[in-house]
Chains A and B, each alone.
Chain A
């Protein structure tokens, strides 16, 4: 390791490690952390995944043969509430990262727990909504709306679930001393994933819910 400590990256000196949040050996020759590049590339591919699902929803919009139709069962007030919850979870996520970058472990755990809680509340809203829709007769196989809606929002909900599990794991890991400012990059990457899930929801909320009722 002594050979590598002689390297001076243009953007990073020894004192910058606390800022980058990644150990030295995880940086490439341009000073870019491998896992961060990986996460951004993954998010770029996830864009294409959700892009195709949203495009499919729009392609089949208005073409269902059978009700219930979107205007019958979509509930704007409730979904606005869940959107707000998810938005706030993104705020809590940046506070989580900020806390661990400062070395404040107690605040880290506090905000991380808050983020997880918001994620779980959002999932609760989704479960409630799905249940209501099924009770009203909208299932995956009922109509084009049923198929496209449940696949799109279900995929998003699954992403949220994975994010919740990830953050919960980080929270538990922090009690075993695994989360430190030098490795704040771990939290940063989880944060990137979480924010991405939030911005996808921003698009879904607009395209499925709001566009339906705009006159």
Chain B
């Protein structure tokens, strides 16, 4: 699967694309079953049946929402994608139950299921193809759900575990600081705004391109050497903004451990390639 190879290494498993596949299979199975049952089954649901279905839907919804505090409590420890799958399975179950009973597909002629099924299949196939072609989302370990005070908006989820903690330890074994820094770069999706030549993922134009940054860093801000400048750029992005760009770099301090900041700077210092940072394509 060529597309999947473009996925960021931070996507531990491509559950976002497996979900449509699962949905696909469920619907396919449903359609087949309904077709087979078509000839033998007449009838309607009774009011009592509807009430039972509504009760089931309510219970499943409560369970779905309850998964959040349950997963946070650590009472049952499961990998992230196991929780996701459980959640998705419950959602698909509700989806199918409403289709079958409230929308009457269980009792109706098979042709209605076929019509709807074609639309669902096309939708899921497009969904899957689209997600498979895009780099995976960075795994931002979410903070436990806490209702924020009015007006407060934290810049990024804070956590002492940093960016690399979501990778399996074997992945980091034996890596040089520069290589680890490259992973931090990837995990924070710096390439989304900062282009790096030769990278298929780092193609962003929001910020200055980073090719050759190692060569020009020292001369940017008086009093800061290359390493100092890079640190300032990462930790206090608003302190110095390259001419032609807007002050839009997010606060990233809270998302990295100290070691990761060092590694990232080490990595950036290896980018001494040809071509200084290109000016913005449009003047700010």
Q: Which residues of A contact B (CB under 8 A)?
A: 11, 30, 32, 36-37, 40-41, 43-48, 50-52, 54-56, 58-59, 61-63, 65-69, 71-73, 75-76, 80, 83-84, 87-88, 90-91, 93-95, 98, 136-137, 188, 191-192, 195-196, 198-199, 202-203, 205-207, 210-215
Contact with A along B103-126 (1 / 0, CB 8 A): 110000101100111111011101
Query: Given the complex of chains A and B, what is the CA–CA distance between A191 and B67 in angstroms?
Result: 31
Query: Given the complex of chains A and B, what is the CA–CA distance between A198 and B111 in angstroms?
Result: 22
Inter-subunit contact B58/A87 (CB<8 Å): yes
Known: A32-B111, A62-B137. A44 touches B120 (CB 8 A): yes
Query: Given the complex of chains A and B, what is the CA–CA distance between A44 and B114 in angstroms?
Result: 10
Q: Which single residue of chain B is at the shortest CB-CB distance from A62?
A: B137
Which residues of chain B are within 8 angstroms of A45 by Cβ–Cβ distance? 119
Offer 13 A-B interface pairs, CB within 8 angstroms, sorted by A. Answer: A30-B111, A51-B123, A62-B140, A67-B250, A80-B61, A88-B54, A91-B102, A94-B50, A95-B50, A196-B103, A203-B91, A206-B88, A214-B67
Inter-subunit contact A43/B61 (CB<8 Å): no
| Residue in B127, B147, B152 whose Cβ sees the most chain A Cβ within 10 Å | B127
Which residues of chain A are within 8 angstroms of B151 by Cβ–Cβ distance? 136
B221 at interface, CB cutoff 8 A: no
Q: Which single residue of chain A is at the shortest CB-CB distance from B17?
A: A58
Inter-subunit contact B112/A73 (CB<8 Å): no
With A206-B91, A214-B67 already in contact, 8 other A-B pairs whose C-beta atoms are closer than 8 Å: A32-B109, A47-B120, A67-B156, A69-B153, A71-B145, A76-B145, A91-B102, A215-B142
Which residues of chain A are within 8 angstroms of B206 by Cβ–Cβ distance? 65
Which residues of chain A are within 8 angstroms of B165 by Cβ–Cβ distance? none
Known: A136-B151, A210-B65. A51 touches B127 (CB 8 A): yes
Name the distance in Å between A85's Cβ and chain B's nearest Cβ. Answer: 11
Known: A44-B118, A211-B87. A59 touches B130 (CB 8 A): yes
Inter-subunit contact B131/A55 (CB<8 Å): yes
Contact with A along B42-86 (1 / 0, CB 8 A): 000101001101100110010011011001100000001001100
Q: Which single residue of chain B is at the shortest CB-CB distance from A48?
A: B123
Query: Given the complex of chains A and B, what is the CA–CA distance between A13 and B238 in angstroms?
Result: 77
Q: Which single residue of chain A is at the shortest CB-CB distance from B94?
A: A202
Contact of A44 among B57, B116, B156 (CB under 8 A): B116
Query: Given the complex of chains A and B, what is the CA–CA distance between A88 and B213 in angstroms?
Result: 58
